[in-house]
Amino acid sequence: MSAVLLAVLRPEPSDVPDFYSWYEAEHVTGRLGVPGFTDAHRYRTEDDPDRGILVYELDDLDVLTTPKYKELQAATAEATQTRMGGLRQFVRVTGEVVQEHGEAAGPAPLLFVVAFTTPAEDMAELDAWYESEHVPGLLKADAWLGVRLIDVSDSNTGWTRVALHRLADESALSSPERKAAVDTPGRERLAEKAWFNESTRFVAGGVPRFDDAREALHG
């Protein structure tokens, strides 16, 4: 089953250019050289342009336990710890893709991330709402390109489900189709639960510079 490694990074303002230059040139490039890391896409959040989001595409979660990946971690541990230790915010999430709808993978002009701390007893209800009501409604909007739902297996947060929405532009977020997709019986039931109303959300635009670096690496 395909998987995702998601990172949310927020350097100190004075370190932003230097940090992302290092991150793209060394950290990301090194991981894309590991078999099973198939791609990576970087975004910048709209509410705070210093905050970056990185989405790594993985063949499966076993990639993260391979000797090649462990060797890379060991070889870069000192530099990584120094750089990451200076971040104002660092979130790391790994998980399997349990739902994929529309044009769900690949870079997007705009990424909408929704993270839930869903208890185990409510997982099936959230998943069913996404699959049967919410996502079909969202995809009626021309600018809503695709959706993936991630079953979080490991994170330094309490998140257990993360939805990655690929958007063509911001019109998707204010579209009548989105309004209808959140006005459903399933959502009314979920809205009675505290965790559902406490989701974490990011809207982030794609960073072309990283795509250029990725193309140079893979040809």
Report the pLDDT value the prediction gives residue 84, as an integer from 0 to 100: 86
The alpha carbons of the chain give a radius of gyration, in whole angstroms, of 17
Angle at 139 between CA 137 and CA 140, to 5 degrees: 70
Q: Given this model, what pLDDT does residue 151 score?
A: 99
pLDDT on residue 79: 86
**Spatial separation of the C-alpha atoms in residues 19 and 34, rounded to whole Å:** 22
CATH code where residue 166 lies: 3.30.70.100
Q: Which domain holds residue 116?
A: 3-218
How many domains is the chain partitioned into structurally?
1
CB of 140 within 8 A of CB of 174?
no
- Would you state the pLDDT for residue 209? 53
What pLDDT, on a 0 to 100 scale, did the predictor assign at position 81?
A: 87
Residues in the chain where the model's pLDDT stays below 50: 211-219
Burial 102-124 (b: 16+ CB within 10 A, else e): bebbebbebbbbbbbbbeeebee
pLDDT digits (tens, 9 = 90+) for 78-131: 988 888 888 999 999 999 999 999 998 888 999 999 999 999 999 999 999 999
Could you give the CA distance from residue 214 to residue 217 in angstroms, rounded to a whole number?
Answer: 5
Percent of the chain with pLDDT strictly greater than 90: 84
Q: Which are the contacts of 174, defined by CB distance < 8 A and separation ≥ 6?
A: none
